[in-house]
Chains A and B, each alone.
Chain A
Amino acid sequence: MIEVAAGFVAWLGASMVVLADGRRGLALGVAIATLGLAVLVLQDAGPLEAAAIALGGLLAAARCVSSGPAGWQIMPPGSTPRFVLCVAVGVLALWIAFSVTAGEGAPLRFAVLTVTGLAGARVLLGADAPALLTSVVLLALAIGAAAGLGDAPLGAWPYVAAGAVAAGACWVPVRVARAA
């Protein structure tokens, strides 16, 4: 039951990143998604792996709070298509994770599918660097969590690397110059 709830939380966080334009909204989305994924990883892989994911996600969320458009800006005017997208991706991921695919770990599958899908969609929809980097964070965390989907254990490295990429992504300085 905790896993199912964690999967839902991951979807909620990723959806918030899709629906928010302000720095606080994005940071909250990242934090919520991190929480959901970390719980799932804790159940699936262990505390070290979960800590790596959580640390990476929370560092990224901390950076998000200080960069990007001010405020929450959750569901600004014209967000209906984004909302529909979040629901649709959630339903599709739910169907694939629980019905189409077999075996244990359906909540983790759901969380990875939904976070990956929504992060990818956010990149296609947005143009602001902070929002795009937030999607990168989510994507990195989801890839890390996906390491638990296979039969063979992959060790802690994918989780640590995912946490590192997530933590570092938001700190990358974005420059635009007119160099020839």
Chain B
Amino acid sequence: MPSVAVLGPVVLPLIAAAVIAAFGLAGVDLGRAAAGIGGWSSVAALFAVWVPVRSSLELILGQLGYGSAFDLRVDAVAFAFGLMITVPAAVLLSLQPRTWQESALSLLGVAAAMATVEGGGIVLTAIAGGTAATVAVVMLDIEDPRAWRPSWALLLAGWLALTWVGAILQVSGGTAIYSAVPVAAVTAPVFVLIAASAVLASCMFPWRTWPARLWARPSLRAAGITVGVLYPLGFYLLVRAYELGDGRYPSAWFNVALAVVGIAAGAAAAARAQAAATRREFLGEVIPGFGGFALMAIAIGTPLGLVAGLVLLATASALVACLALLPDRAGAASVLAIAAAIGLPPGLAFGGRVIGIEATFEAGDLLGLIGVAGAAAWVVWMVGGARAIGLPGGRGHPAAETFPRVSMLIAALTLVAGPALAVLHFGFANPVAGEVMPSAAGALAGGLTAVVTVSSVLPVVTLLVPLLVIAMATYAWTGTSAIHTQARPALFPLPGAAALDRARTAIRAATVPEQYRSIFNIRELEAAAAGGSPVLWLAALVALGFAVTR
């Protein structure tokens, strides 16, 4: 395979975007078919690059001018995250109707996100990630300028921080190429910055941020693409951080801290989900919930935790497409989506969470407690999911952009794929662990039918196939006719929500007291600064002179 092939997953959607834009400017809307082709071409290119060789393929085209070479590579990590990004985007682009501008921008977003995960160095990743974030903001704004969208500064902050990480590594380690950074250069402060970039890039916070709030928009075309392409990128950084540190973070405390952040985000999402007033509000918390569990698992620092996190992220990416296509009405599609989301056995979410929690127990010490917290959060999700089935649907979305059957199919696939968990580990997640944790990768074993951990063997096919049969029988027996949608009380009130609301209201209502307004008057300040007063100018000169004598 020629190394230039790594350009395919990035360039093909770009070409599609250019063609769509060119025709659009000429007055011809190529429609969803062209957008879908653009999306799927990236998926196909990714497979074509990775599957035949199943090892890293790199393209280096010389320096760019900011200390980084044009270095793209497709390895196991790029392949896994590339699929998480491109597949849901391709599904959405193929089905949902869009204007040609939206299609072109969506494909630009996909290309930028692919460049992020293919970037061989941190600076290139930061530039591509920043581009993806910018495209997402533009995409959300042109779809509906009045609808809520995340702050641009918040989206870019993580990538700016990552740029600084790249600069630090270039200065202190001589390079910011993932595979070449000296382990000694990844110090604790540098890792803090990487972790902060990752947490900001995917907004993995215990409060309600854009991965949850975007689902409340009137239309989910741009929201689906945005969550699909941006949300995995923060996790990608944390996985690459293992590669930078030769399989580990600089201190075990970072593993603990990030796992705590993860379970805090997951548990908070569960708490909000169980108190949701509508089904859409509940479903909005699904992706942050998955993210929380995935972060907890990835942060543990063992290969088992890492592969569990990847399985959860892959499931989340499938659910992004599922949720964006799901209509806000009761029915089989909603039930299946909720079942897939809450980790009902024998789904992939179930298997991923089981393995993730087991990984925390095997890691021992404080991480075991985090596993207990994870189990508790999962229980809340289960109860919240049962409640959500009977909740009112929500505000509703344009019928033209919902596809209940496809949505149901995706949810069903994530449920019936549970018994194939070992296959997913073997073909999808284990190579990633082998790439970023080379010294510990031998701990992963089990083949295609069982997941082998340090302390036990989980024969997933044997265990989960009967569960699948039971679940299908139960569903066939009960059906959905008994479901009545109505407002339902929360399991428990959100702790601190009222206080938080009060504080938020107080901050928003805060004004400069009347007697101090003359002191802090922006208009007068501007007039003074830009008034060209000779006195001010001379005073400034004196001040500068004083400054250099210090």
User: Do the two chains belong together in a single complex?
Assistant: yes
Using CB atoms and an 8 Å cutoff, list the residues of chain A in contact with chain B.
124-125
Least Cβ–Cβ distance between A81 and chain B, in angstroms: 12
B496 at the interface (CB under 8 A from A): no
Chain B residues contacting A124 (CB-CB under 8 Å) are 534, 537-538
Q: List 4 A-B contacts (CB under 8 A).
A: A124-B534, A124-B537, A124-B538, A125-B534
Using CB atoms and an 8 Å cutoff, list the residues of chain B in contact with chain A.
534, 537-538
Least Cβ–Cβ distance between B548 and chain A, in angstroms: 15
Smallest CB-CB separation from B535: which chain A residue? Answer: A124
A-B pairs with lowest CB-CB distance, top 4 = A124-B534, A124-B537, A125-B534, A124-B538
Expressed in whole angstroms, the Cα–Cα distance for A124 and B533 within the complex equals 9
Expressed in whole angstroms, the Cα–Cα distance for A124 and B534 within the complex equals 6
Smallest CB-CB separation from B537: which chain A residue? Answer: A124
Least Cβ–Cβ distance between B291 and chain A, in angstroms: 54
Expressed in whole angstroms, the Cα–Cα distance for A125 and B533 within the complex equals 10
Chain A residues contacting B538 (CB-CB under 8 Å) are 124
Least Cβ–Cβ distance between B539 and chain A, in angstroms: 12
Chain B residues contacting A125 (CB-CB under 8 Å) are 534
Interface on chain B toward A: helix, strand, loop, or mixed SS?
helix
Smallest CB-CB separation from B532: which chain A residue? Answer: A124
Least Cβ–Cβ distance between B94 and chain A, in angstroms: 52
Smallest CB-CB separation from A123: which chain B residue? Answer: B534
Least Cβ–Cβ distance between A113 and chain B, in angstroms: 15
Chain A residues contacting B537 (CB-CB under 8 Å) are 124
Least Cβ–Cβ distance between A45 and chain B, in angstroms: 30
Expressed in whole angstroms, the Cα–Cα distance for A125 and B534 within the complex equals 8
Least Cβ–Cβ distance between A119 and chain B, in angstroms: 14
Expressed in whole angstroms, the Cα–Cα distance for A84 and B309 within the complex equals 78
Least Cβ–Cβ distance between A61 and chain B, in angstroms: 26
Least Cβ–Cβ distance between B518 and chain A, in angstroms: 28
Least Cβ–Cβ distance between B317 and chain A, in angstroms: 55
Expressed in whole angstroms, the Cα–Cα distance for A125 and B537 within the complex equals 12
Expressed in whole angstroms, the Cα–Cα distance for A124 and B538 within the complex equals 10
Least Cβ–Cβ distance between B538 and chain A, in angstroms: 8
Smallest CB-CB separation from A125: which chain B residue? Answer: B534
Least Cβ–Cβ distance between B347 and chain A, in angstroms: 67
Least Cβ–Cβ distance between A121 and chain B, in angstroms: 9
Smallest CB-CB separation from B534: which chain A residue? Answer: A124
Chain A residues contacting B534 (CB-CB under 8 Å) are 124-125
Least Cβ–Cβ distance between B536 and chain A, in angstroms: 11
Least Cβ–Cβ distance between A174 and chain B, in angstroms: 18
Expressed in whole angstroms, the Cα–Cα distance for A125 and B538 within the complex equals 12
Expressed in whole angstroms, the Cα–Cα distance for A179 and B537 within the complex equals 29
Least Cβ–Cβ distance between A176 and chain B, in angstroms: 17
Expressed in whole angstroms, the Cα–Cα distance for A103 and B411 within the complex equals 88
Expressed in whole angstroms, the Cα–Cα distance for A135 and B209 within the complex equals 61
Least Cβ–Cβ distance between B537 and chain A, in angstroms: 7
Expressed in whole angstroms, the Cα–Cα distance for A90 and B33 within the complex equals 82
Least Cβ–Cβ distance between A69 and chain B, in angstroms: 21
Least Cβ–Cβ distance between A13 and chain B, in angstroms: 23
Expressed in whole angstroms, the Cα–Cα distance for A6 and B537 within the complex equals 31
Least Cβ–Cβ distance between A149 and chain B, in angstroms: 21
Least Cβ–Cβ distance between B549 and chain A, in angstroms: 14
Smallest CB-CB separation from B538: which chain A residue? Answer: A124
Expressed in whole angstroms, the Cα–Cα distance for A44 and B538 within the complex equals 32
Least Cβ–Cβ distance between B469 and chain A, in angstroms: 80
Expressed in whole angstroms, the Cα–Cα distance for A21 and B69 within the complex equals 65
Smallest CB-CB separation from A124: which chain B residue? Answer: B534
Least Cβ–Cβ distance between A85 and chain B, in angstroms: 11
Least Cβ–Cβ distance between B306 and chain A, in angstroms: 64
Expressed in whole angstroms, the Cα–Cα distance for A125 and B535 within the complex equals 10
Least Cβ–Cβ distance between A116 and chain B, in angstroms: 14
Least Cβ–Cβ distance between B540 and chain A, in angstroms: 12
Least Cβ–Cβ distance between A127 and chain B, in angstroms: 11
Least Cβ–Cβ distance between A141 and chain B, in angstroms: 23
